[in-house]
Every structure is written in structure tokens, then in C-alpha cells.
Amino acid sequence: MELTTIWFALIAVLWVGYLVLEGFDFGVGILLPVLTRNDTERRVLINTIGPVWDGNEVWLLVAGGATFAAFPEWYATLFSGFYLPLLLILVALILRGVAFEYRGKIDDDTWRRRWDWAIIGGSALPALLWGVAFANIVRGVPINAHKEFTGTLFTLLNPFGLLGGLTTLTLFTLHGAIFLALKTSGELRGRALGLARKLAVPAIVVAGSFALWLQLSYSDKGWTWAAVAIAALALVGAALAVRADREGWAFLLTSVVLAAAVVLIFGSLFPNVMPSTTDKAYSLTVYTESAAHPFGAASTHYTLTVMTWVAVVLTPFVLLYQSWTYWVFRKRISTSDIPAGGGLPKIPAAG
């Protein structure tokens, strides 16, 4: 297998990690005004992701960095063409991160309420726009002979793109509700399970519609039907699991759904990394640019070789550290763990 193909697959794996982990972060933020009745309960929700949300974003940074290094032409066309949506995502993530740190700095309800809205918006907007972006990547965008995006923001706001955004928004919200059922106890856990049961059906309808549309219209590979089937079975299984109050299994299954969605998208793309709707010949591919592949987007073999060795050496340490973080903060959280007053929440470690 060529290094270009390996790195295409590795970038897909990085996106699986990001969407699964940051997905429940977004879901928790979106549900902040839905599941809580007072500030103490809101602090419980924030506390469930407090030790891990910033580490989860590392997957996005690594995915972006790997794309830049392994497929610079893909990175250049993608980030220039999707500049405004990606800028909005960046601003939303910044505001969200600041809100986590600042909402408890002043003991004032108005102060905390404003930062809570920053958390909600900073979670909902990326959850929507990531789906729009991935849907347009697999659908294709106007790219000319100079490898330049020639569309506008409204080019991306097509029906398929908007359905993709609604799909990620719905799945992340469901994923977050199940995560909260897994991480909280008492009344909050009951509310989270109840909401997850209500969200399961619309998630099946929306995600199923998106997957079928993608497979029938934008995939020319029969094997990607397996990804569609796995996603469908896992989503139905998650719905049944939450009805049986088995939130652990439900969380595992929604994680499988998100992983299968990435496999479907990247599998449908290959060997392209960014199809062109202007002319199929202008589609960027996983190959290194050459006479045989004039629209190849990959770096040279030497660059990919160096990157591979760096990844082999450093990746295990990153995985071990993040796994250790989740293990340390594995306990359920309740309102009794939250100290009185408006200070920062107490994050209980495993004893």
C-alpha cells in the first residue's frame, strides 16, 4: 500500500477520534439549557467534560496538521474555499473555550448566563457546520484548472450540505445526551436518558436519509454499503439500549455510528480528496502530482516517510495520555459534588 493511501486512511482515523470525542462535548454544550433547572445542575454538565474537552480538540489540530503536511494541495483548496465556515467554527470554539474558563470567575447570575450562551452557541454552530463541510467535500465543489475553489458561501448551502449539517447536529446532541446519562446520577441521569429516547427516532430518520443520499448519489463503491448498514444497525441498537437504560452500550454504539459515517465519507471520496463539480478531471486526488496525476494533492514520498516515523513514535504516547485522563475522571458526577457559591466546579478524580 502506498504511503499516500496510508495517510489518507490515517487522516480519516483522526477525524473519527475528533468526531466521537468532541461530538459528545458539543452535545453537552447544546443541552446545557435543556436538561438543567439551576446553576448547580449546569455546573454538573460542564464538569462532566471539564477535564477532557480541551484534549479532545487536539484531534482536530492533528487532523488539520496532518492534512497540511500530507496533502498540502487539499489543505490549500479546502481552507481557502471553506474559509468563512471554518472561520466561524474557529471563533465558536474560541468563545466556547473562554466561556468554560470565565463563567465561574464572577458570582453573578447575569455574568454566568451570558457565558452559558457562548457555550451553547459555541457548541451548536460547529456541530452544524462540520456536517455542512463534510457533505460538500464528498458531494464536490467547483474547482478550476488551477486547483482553486470558484464558489461562494452559498455554494455550500445546498440541500445535501444542509442535510449533512442537520445530521451532525442531531447525532452530536444524541451522543451528548447519552454521555450525560453515563456520567451523571440521580435526576440528571433520568432526564438525559429520557431526552436520548426522544432524540433517537429523529436521529435515525435524519442520519439515515443523509447516508442513503450519499451512497446513492456520491459513492461509486459497493463496499461502502457496509458502512451504511453498520451505521444504521448501530443507531437502532443505541435507541434500544437507551430504552433499556443501558447508556454504556448506547454510547459505544453512537460512537460506532460516527466512525461508520467517516468511513462512508472517506471511502466514497477515494481516490479523490476533493471532487470538482466544474470538471471531474480537476478533482484533487490522493496521489503525488505528476504527469500521470496532474491534480495529485499529496506531498513527496520523502515527506510522507518522515511523517510516518514521527507518527509511529509519538502517537502511542498521545493515546496513552488521553486514555489515562478518561480513566482518572471516570466516575459519575452529581449535584452533591458541586460546592456552594459561584466558584469553579469541583472535578472529582477517581479514588
Give me the CATH number covering residue 245. Answer: 1.20.1630.10
The answer to whether residue 53 sits within a structural domain is yes
Does residue 104 carry a pLDDT above 90? Answer: no
Other Cβ atoms within 10 Å of 258 Cβ, number: 25
DSSP string, 133-170: HHHHHHH-B-B-TTS-B---HHHH-SHHHHHHHHHHHH
pLDDT, position 343: 47
- What value does the mean pLDDT take over residues 218-223? 94
Does residue 51 carry a pLDDT above 50? Answer: yes
Task: Give, as one character, the DSSP assignment of residue 184.
Answer: B
- What value does the mean pLDDT take over residues 318-323? 89
Please give the distance of CA 171 from its chain centroid, rounded to a whole number. Answer: 10
pLDDT, position 339: 79
The answer to whether residue 346 sits within a structural domain is no
The answer to whether residue 297 sits within a structural domain is yes
pLDDT, position 292: 87
Which residue's entry shows cell 451548536? Answer: 124
The answer to whether residue 147 sits within a structural domain is yes
Task: Give, as one character, the DSSP assignment of residue 45.
Answer: H
pLDDT, position 346: 46
The answer to whether residue 19 sits within a structural domain is yes
The answer to whether residue 344 sits within a structural domain is no
Sign, Cα dihedral of 171, 172, 176, 179: positive
| 335 — pLDDT class (breaks 50, 70, 90) | confident
Q: 282 lies in which domain range?
A: 3-337
The answer to whether residue 74 sits within a structural domain is yes
Contact between residue 284 and residue 272 where contact means Cβ atoms under 8 Å apart: yes
Q: At what angle do helices 159-183 and 187-218 cross, to 10 degrees?
A: 150
Contact between residue 193 and residue 181 where contact means Cβ atoms under 8 Å apart: yes
- What value does the mean pLDDT take over residues 26-48? 94
CA distance linking residue 22 with residue 179, whole number of Å: 11
| Average pLDDT over the chain, rounded to an integer | 92
For the chain, what is the domain count? 1
Strands 296-298 and 272-274: unpaired
The answer to whether residue 350 sits within a structural domain is no
Contacts of 178 (CB under 8 A, 6+ apart): 24, 192, 196, 238, 242, 247, 250, 251, 254
Does residue 347 carry a pLDDT above 60? Answer: no
- What value does the mean pLDDT take over residues 43-65? 92
pLDDT, position 37: 92
pLDDT more than 90, % of the chain: 84
Express each pLDDT in 240-286 by its tens digit: 999 999 999 999 999 999 999 999 999 999 999 999 999 999 999 99
DSSP string, 303-317: HHHHHHHHHHHHHHH
- List the grid coordinates of 23: 461530538
Express each pLDDT in 282-297 by its tens digit: 999 999 998 888 999 9
Contact between residue 203 and residue 174 where contact means Cβ atoms under 8 Å apart: yes
E strand residue ranges, 198-322: 272-274, 284-288, 296-298
Does residue 330 carry a pLDDT above 60? Answer: yes
Q: What share of the chain is helix, strand, coil (3-state, %, to 5)?
A: 75, 5, 20
What SS3 class is residue 285? strand
First-to-last CA distance in the chain? 46
Express each pLDDT in 82-102 by its tens digit: 999 999 999 999 999 999 999
Task: Give, as one character, the DSSP assignment of residue 288.
Answer: E
